[in-house]
Amino acid sequence: MKPISPEAIRTAIAAQRPVVESLFDRLAEGSRAEPGIMRDTYGAGENFAHELIAKHGANEGLQIHRDAAANTYLTWPGSEQGAPCILLGSHLDSVPHGGNFDGAAGVVAGLTVIAALKALGLRPRCDITVMGVRAEESVWFEVSYIGSRSALGTLPNGALEAKRIDTGRDLASHIAACGGDVEALRQGRRELDPATIRAFLEVHIEQAPSLVEAGLPLAICSGIPGNFRYPNARIDGRHDHVGTPRRFRRDAAMAGAELAMALDRLWAEQDAAGIPLAITFGRFHTDPAMHGLTTVPGAFDFSLDVRAYDPAVLSLLEARMLAIISEIEARRHVSFALGPRASASVGMVDPAIAAQLQAAAQSLGLPGTMMGSPASHDAAAFAAAGVPVGMIFVRNENGSHNPHEEMEIDDFLDACALLTSWVADQAA
């Protein structure tokens, strides 16, 4: 088959606009949370999204399959049996009161690419599969990449016992309730063998308005940060009367504030040196059962997420953090209990795929700027398993994890055109 022209790709993608708009509208209507949407991990909202996508795929003649973790696969079979497949997709869950596009855009993009290529008469050599991934948003179980790592057989030990923050039930029971096979997961069976995957590509809205600032509709990802996390850290001091002199105090709140400011200075130092990273205290509070206007806080709880693009930088940051904590403990006579540690590997984007996407963007008349992801994505789990990965970011006015995400459909269709061009070149 002769190459498909950029003009034909743009026309085929533009024809998909009504379907794209309908899918996003139906996803939003079925998971409204006021404000925003609620596609809770292994809950009613996420289930709704998977059912909607599966029904749409079946109507389009795609083969539908679910794995032990209840991930959804929608496959357009290729002509060469056994050829490594192209995997497109993203997650379908959201944070509480999130936006409609974070994650879901990647699944809708995959379906849009397949529809456009079908309309263009392509007969792919390899399977092209859209994966609706479960449980990417770690806020619910405080475990990263549950769906993708389950599929790849790399789910961390103990993850199935993690409790959902609102129900208190463990991950295993939630997966079972959604039709998954917990025993298969316990045995480490994997749905996806990295050797059988040509590449995993993910379209995602940008998390911070960098593209808005730059006036660009999209960017090609240059890397996905790894992280280390302490979801349930605590500082223990002593509850005292508000009039207690400073020399007697074991103030847990001041110890927490000192750690936060020390890490912020460390971040500023690295930022000035041109080393990108992010440090976030997601929870930061005294004990509500004990705190009050006239009480020196004897307990302080916090969560910490530190992310960077270089494993050596992450190791350095954690070592410096632990040294800072030791100094604070000695000076303020408190003790830190960091609790369970979680981590995710740095996601290395495949340089060949990034270069191919840049070339495709140029042929389509689209900007091919590169941008590092400020956030974690399922693509990082695939990269850690040895699968070549690529990502495309779409301009988004108000950031993600926000009920007011503002992705423009025109920008999304540009990203779909870029992904279609790459898939056509690789699968023809």
Binding-site members for Zn(2+) are 91, 102, 137, 204, 401
Alpha helices, DSSP H only, in 284-384?
311-332, 351-364, 378-384
Partners of 132 in the β-ladder: 72, 90
> What does the alpha-carbon distance between residue 263 and residue 259 come to, in Å, rounded to a whole number?
6
> What does the alpha-carbon distance between residue 242 and residue 86 come to, in Å, rounded to a whole number?
63
Other beta carbons within 10 angstroms of residue 381's beta carbon come to 29
Question: How would you classify the pairing of strands 72-76 and 63-66?
Answer: antiparallel
Q: Please say whether the beta carbons of 417 and 364 come within 8 A.
A: yes
3-state secondary structure of 324: helix
Other beta carbons within 10 angstroms of residue 265's beta carbon come to 11
Other beta carbons within 10 angstroms of residue 369's beta carbon come to 17
> What does the alpha-carbon distance between residue 316 and residue 95 come to, in Å, rounded to a whole number?
30
Helix (H) or strand (E) holding 196: none
Residue among 94, 106, 103, 90 at smallest CA distance from 45: 94
What one-character-per-residue DSSP string does 113-165 give?
HHHHHHHTT---SS-EEEEEE----TTTTS-S-HHHHHHHT-PPTTGGGPBPT
What one-character-per-residue DSSP string does 378-416 give?
HHHHHHHTT--EEEEEE--TT-SSSTT----HHHHHHHH
3-state secondary structure of 329: helix
Which residue ranges make up the annotated binding site?
91, 102, 137, 204, 401
Residue type, 83: A
Residue among 248, 257, 238 at smallest CA distance from 297: 238
Tell me whether residue 351 is exposed, middle or buried, using C-beta atoms within 10 angstroms of its C-beta: 0 to 12, 13 to 18, 19 or more.
Answer: exposed
